[in-house]
Amino acid sequence: MLFNSQERKMSFGLLVMRIGLAAMLLIHSAPKLFGGSAQWKGVGATLNYLQFGIPLDILGFIVLLLEALGALSLLSGFLFRSCCIILTVLFGFYCLNYFSITYKTLTLFSLGLAVVFIGLANTGPGRYAVYVKLEKK
């Protein structure tokens, strides 16, 4: 038997979810983050409907940086709940954007990820997080 307790099974499931979500966020954000101002402006234009009054390239950079830092938080467990809440809000904004332009699939995808991040914020990173291991020492 791979695991001898229910708590270890749940922690391993959380680890798999955290790694998968972090990989997805990094695949989405890292190339655009390192792509420069033109890439940032494209992401900023995606969320421009909110009319923040921030230049598009700065808005895009902030969003991509939050996604990348959120992915690193998912991997390490450091500031886990805070980053999950930030990612929930971010994907909520994405959901509202896609809803306003009637992309049904992207709306549901963004809403689903927002709900997953709410669930992760409630459960925590589990016992197999780097931060949890360092905290115990």
Short-list 70, 71, 80, CA closest to 125: 80
What pLDDT score was predicted for residue 80?
A: 92
Q: Which helix (H) or strand (E) holds 11?
A: helix 6-34
61 token code pair: 């950079």
What pLDDT score was predicted for residue 136?
A: 66
CA distance 24 to 35: 17
Short-list 97, 121, 120, 123, CA closest to 109: 97
Decide: 122 and 14 in contact? Cβ < 8 Å.
Answer: no
CA distance 55 to 50: 12
What pLDDT score was predicted for residue 2?
A: 62
- Block mean pLDDT (10 aa), the chain, length 137: 75 91 93 91 81 84 94 91 94 83 82 94 87 68
